[in-house]
A and B are shown apart, each in its own frame.
Chain A
């Protein structure tokens, strides 16, 4: 089933970033997903725990209001996707299930001009980075290929968001300058490997850190040693490689 779609989508994100004269960021993913899904607009919000917390980027005024109104009401598709770690595809906000599910959000959203809302969790297992939302001004489902693109771009947004959170956290959060990170590379999540998740779990114990930080350290190690993430993960799972809280001591055990 392998295909070149993840790379093609990453190309679009990178081109959008280059046109804006910057390194690829969540805002570039947002712009690409809106175009790919033929949406009216989109937004990305970062998560704090199990709820969306603050808006990272929006593509238009309606998106901004849709994102903000959910934070204000504490209700809506973006809350649901973080609770269940599954997408919510509300193809028609005028239907009964939508009204019953979000009694406060639905009328507000329709008043803002949204007829359909699609929300995607930016998660990797227990890692919750945030949520990506899209709206359309007329009802209707996403097509199969559009849905697939949304999932792939949500993966990309997840990685960029996690990297961005690391940047903002600064030295206090362990960003000591040696923690170089991949830049300008497509995320490697398209080819899923159980070892990456298992290694992430193992590193929470080896390093005494949370799962988000453990995943960051795994990626940083792969990047600084110029190795594939899946290969590093396989070495950790096979206990051929052991990481230490102090990165200078990383290596075999």
Chain B
């Protein structure tokens, strides 16, 4: 692991968190950094919706195959086991014939991954989600990497709590729902932009994110203004 990249990452995350920030954009940064730091091929943050569903909040790639892996995990997989037990779950060498999670294993291999690690996102005794790491090559992640990974998962949890007022236990539930709805707004905006420019969802997401960053706006606000806009022009005209 590159120590400079590691310190850069935590300094960058801390810098973000002292100011007003967009949760989904923050979680995306975290998944990008997880890939860069932890010898992972892909990473994703999955949140537990109290409705009874695991939902993707951010992924290092918007590739359909990766997203599908998270959706399958509503039925089976390391992420679901991790959420249920609150413990890290390792699948060090999945083959399509894996007996523990047959559907998940087949889809994972199909998507080009062999190793999966699910790290719990916990606040006190509550498991709010998991950071998932995927790797194309078999074999477990290094212990040192997993410790960093768990630290990143903990930072993700804190990032969800945008308000400093932790006295109210309801805050986490409120913020979690807000983050999940932000994700929906962003998906709607991706769809609108992808259709407008005839590009794929991954490129649409990249454009939204870059525009938000360059114009110093929250990703969710950019997405919402674009979806609300009466025209399909991008960037959307400023709100009146």
Contact = CB atoms under 8 A, between A and B. Distances in A.
Contact of B194 (A144, A147, A148, A198): A198
**Chain A interface size, under 10 / 10 to 19 / 20 to 34 / 35 or more:** 35 or more
B187 A194 contact: yes
A125 B194 contact: no
B124 interface: no
Interface string B152-168: 00000000000001001
Interface string B173-203: 1110110011011011111111110000100
B127 to A, nearest CB: 12
B94 interface: no
B178 A86 contact: yes
A84 B178 contact: yes
A197 B184 contact: yes
B228 interface: yes
A129 interface: no
Contacts of A211: 188, 227-228
A97 B168 CA distance: 9
A152 interface: yes
Interface in B191-240: 191-196, 201, 223-224, 227-228, 230, 232
B110 to A, nearest CB: 17
Interface stretch (B9-17, B33-41, B51-59): B51-59
Interface in A163-221: 190-194, 197-206, 210-211
A237 B201 contact: yes
A6 B227 CA distance: 28
A201 B191 contact: yes
A248 interface: no
Contacts of A111: none
A89 interface: yes
Contact of A202 (B51, B185, B195): B195
A19 interface: no
Contacts of A87: 173-174, 177
Contacts of B189: 126, 201
B95 interface: no
B177 A2 contact: no
A146 B200 CA distance: 40
Given A198-B187, A200-B191, 7 more contacts: A86-B175, A89-B170, A91-B170, A126-B228, A148-B52, A155-B51, A204-B227
Ordered nearest first, which 10 A-B pairs have the shortest CB separation?
A201-B191, A86-B178, A197-B187, A125-B184, A198-B191, A89-B170, A201-B192, A202-B195, A126-B227, A201-B188
Interface of A: 1-3, 5-6, 84-89, 91, 97, 121, 123-126, 141, 144, 147-148, 151-152, 155, 190-194, 197-206, 210-211, 237
